[in-house]
Amino acid sequence: MKRREGRTEEMKARMETDPRFREEVERKERVEMEMREVRQAALIRLAKINMDQAIQIATSQQPGKVLLCSLEAKGWEEPGKLAKDGVVFYHVMIANEGELGATHIWVNAIDGTIIKQSESCRENARQKEKIKPRIHG
């Protein structure tokens, strides 16, 4: 963590003192932003169901408050072009009622089927760790 912070500080200092370096970093950021926009436009074109429908499908399996819903894909051939075995999906995260953690549901954006469902209980583990009695020897 400290090493990362040190690199960040070095990069900030170099950007302030080296105009070429700053221009190169800014150019890379612009290219990355353009690629994200191309991928997002392709996702929107490929999705056959909308986000509201994906949320309805997910909450029919796991009722609760939706914390996150995002349109994503796995298996890009190139920016804007999904590979033949690529998958477009919605990732829906729903808060577990009455307990810590969340349920993650991946809904196929083409046909609305559920690809995968899993529980995220890291918060539960952290909470248990906080209340675990400690024995001092």
Q: pLDDT tens digits, residue range 7-23?
A: 888 888 888 899 999 89
Domain-embedded: residue 41: yes
Domain-embedded: residue 136: no
Domain-embedded: residue 47: yes
Determine contact, residues 66/106, Cβ cutoff 8 Å. Answer: no
Determine contact, residues 103/94, Cβ cutoff 8 Å. Answer: yes
How much is the pTM? 0.68
Domain-embedded: residue 18: yes
Its domain, for residue 27, covers 2-131
pLDDT above 60 (res 133) = no
Work out how many domains the chain is built from and give that number. 1
pLDDT of residue 11: 84
Lowest mean pLDDT among 28-37, 44-53, 121-130: 121-130
Looking up residue 9, the CATH number of its domain turns out to be: 3.10.450.40
Domain-embedded: residue 60: yes
Q: Which residues share a beta bridge with 119?
A: 103
Domain-embedded: residue 137: no
Helix segments in 47-121, DSSP class H: 51-61
What average pLDDT does this structure show over 32-59? 92
Domain-embedded: residue 97: yes
Domain-embedded: residue 29: yes
